[in-house]
Amino acid sequence: MIFLRAVFCAGILTAPLWAQVKITQAGDRVSVNIDGKPFTALFVGPDVMKPYLYPLRAASGTSVTRHFPLEDSPGDSKDHPHHRGLTFGHADLNGFNYWANEAFNPGAKGKIVLDKIIGVESGPKTGSVEAAFKWIDPQGNPLMMDTRKITFYSHPSLRIIDFDIVVKAIVQAKFGDTHEGSFGVRVAAWLEEPAPAYVPKAAGGEPRPTEPKRTGLISNSEGQRTEDQVRGKRANWADYSGETKGEKLGIAIFDHPMNPRHPTYWHTRGYGMFAANIFGIRDLGNNKNADGSLTLKPGEELRFRYRVVIHPGSASSAGIDKLYADYAAGR
């Protein structure tokens, strides 16, 4: 903890006062301000079962992430309390759950814990946090390390986050085939699909609140729309767009063309779960003969890169296809 404080203090002292992307530590989190306004925070405290960014805000300040269970939220569905902001994890690594891994979830659960902060940087156009995490089993034994560099961008109308994640096996590590993972976000209630007006029984079966009005449209790079068409399909990107209080906004996730098994499969739900998942081939694709599992030998690595774009308007009006092309070209 002394090391952690020292790194943060050094980052704060060296950050220019005129930085437009300002990154600071506040207790159990790393806070990110863009152009003088709060954007998000990376939660990494000892009580966090897997690190996550929360909330995610548009350039206007409107949150595009569900508040429950982290804040009071009368309009939010109360299913899946382990869906917290934007996160990276997986429900089956060597049989342990690193996705639905809070104490109230059943089964054998692991934990993704902060090992160290490698560096923080603020700047006029970009800022970044780089950190290393350990994936430990219920006895505290590390199975895998991951290093994440998260880069935030200043932009007049968009909020853009780049993730560069390298996982490295400490022991033989097997990612099992399950839809529960891996890089995903739980979106705000108004970004959920308008129907059905309930959460499926497997997800809790509770009726959804009627307010705020559910206005979300799920779409992808292949021209497919709604959960029925997008879920389990492969695509370069997927997007949720909707409207709240007269403001039209959306959030897209881009799968980098150099990622393993690109283009990824998408775990998208009308009730608001939204994730890129290369491991759920049998589970997501309803193909009993497929096996999406992947095993790393000790010392082997996988690299994942994703871009998250929070945008005004729909995927079409925001030019998500063009923005993805820029990302794929390294811009």
* Rounded Cα distance, 304 and 205, in Å: 34
Cβ burial of 276 (10 Å; 0-12, 13-18, 19+) is buried
Token pair 């560099």 is at which residue? Answer: 149
Q: Which of 285, 219, 289, 292 is nearest to 260 (CA)?
A: 292
Read off the pTM. 0.91
Return all residues near 54 (Cβ < 8 A) that are at least 6 apart.
40, 41, 43, 65, 70, 84, 85, 86
Token reading at 48? 């966090």
Helix (H) or strand (E) segment spanning residue 116:
strand 111-121
Three-state DSSP class for 143? strand
Helices (H), the chain: 2-14, 226-230, 281-285, 320-328
CB 86 within 8 A of CB 188: no
CB 106 within 8 A of CB 120: no
Q: Which of 85, 82, 151 is nearest to 111 (CA)?
A: 82
Q: Which of 236, 232, 235, 238 is nearest to 282 (CA)?
A: 232
In this predicted structure, what is the pLDDT of residue 205? 61
CB 253 within 8 A of CB 313: no
In this predicted structure, what is the pLDDT of residue 201? 54
Q: 2-328 has which CATH code?
A: 2.70.98
244 C-beta neighbours (distance < 10 Å), count: 18
69 C-beta neighbours (distance < 10 Å), count: 15
In this predicted structure, what is the pLDDT of residue 17? 56
Return all residues near 266 (Cβ < 8 A) that are at least 6 apart.
220, 230, 231, 232, 233, 234, 235, 238, 274, 275, 276, 277, 284
In order along its 331 residues, the chain shows pLDDT tens digits of: 443 444 344 443 344 456 799 999 878 999 999 999 999 999 999 999 999 999 999 999 999 999 999 998 888 888 899 999 999 999 999 999 999 999 888 899 999 999 999 999 999 999 999 999 999 999 999 999 999 999 999 999 999 999 999 999 999 999 999 999 999 999 999 999 996 655 555 555 667 787 899 999 999 999 999 999 999 999 999 999 999 999 999 999 999 999 999 999 999 999 999 999 999 999 887 788 999 999 999 999 999 999 999 999 999 999 999 999 999 999 8
In this predicted structure, what is the pLDDT of residue 93? 98
